Structure 1
Amino acid sequence: MYLKEFDLDLPYILHDECIESIMKRQKCEYNEATKLDFELNWEWKRRSFRLETRCITAMFERLFGKYNTKIVGKS
């Protein structure tokens, strides 16, 4: 199998202080506050990171050409 593309991602990091603050302000449960924290404070960081690194990864994809690998998968 050939490696076709690189994809860099910025995983979500829980910030308990922010989540607790949202729970108090919005009067909601932990899961709902976590979702709100992601949407308000993290989603734009993740999108920005992905757009900023996209041209760099595209350059490496062109430089690597066809790279045969036995282990390919999404993590």
Structure 2
Amino acid sequence: MDLKEFDLDLPYLADDEQIKSIMSGQKCQYHDATQIDYNLNWKGKRRSFRLETRCVTAMYERLFGK
């Protein structure tokens, strides 16, 4: 088995207070409020993290070789 690539990721951490606020303001269910919270508050952070760590992961990929 060869390691072809690897990636660092920032997993979503639900903020229950923010989700409750969205649920009361938008009049929606927990699942929908979680999606709204992710899109508003987390999606940009996750994308930025991936872009910022690309150089580091590329360096490690070159160092590992086959």
**Superposition TM-score tier, normalisation by shorter sequence:** over 0.9
Gaps of 5+ in 2: none
For 1:58 and 1:28, how far apart are their aligned partners in 2? 42
Identify the structure with bigger relative contact order (alpha carbons < 8 Å, sequence gap 6+).
1
- Residue in 1 aligned with 2:43? 43
Show structure 1 runs of 5+ residues with no match: 67-75
Answering whether residue 29 of structure 2 is matched by residue 29 of structure 1, we say: yes
1:43-62 mapped onto 2 (5 Å cutoff): 43-62=43-62
Counting helix residues as a fraction of each chain, which structure ranks higher?
2
Q: Which amino acid aligns with 1:29?
A: Q
Do structure 1's residue 17 and structure 2's residue 12 form an aligned pair?
no
Greater share of strand: 1
Instruction: Quote the Cα distance in structure 2 between the aligned partners of 1:51 and 1:13.
Output: 19
Asked which structure has the greater CA Rg, the reply is 1
How many residues align? The count is: 66
Specify the SS of the correspondent of 1:3: coil
TM-score (norm 1): 0.85
Alignment of 1:4 onto 2:4: yes
**Alignment root-mean-square deviation, CA:** 0.6
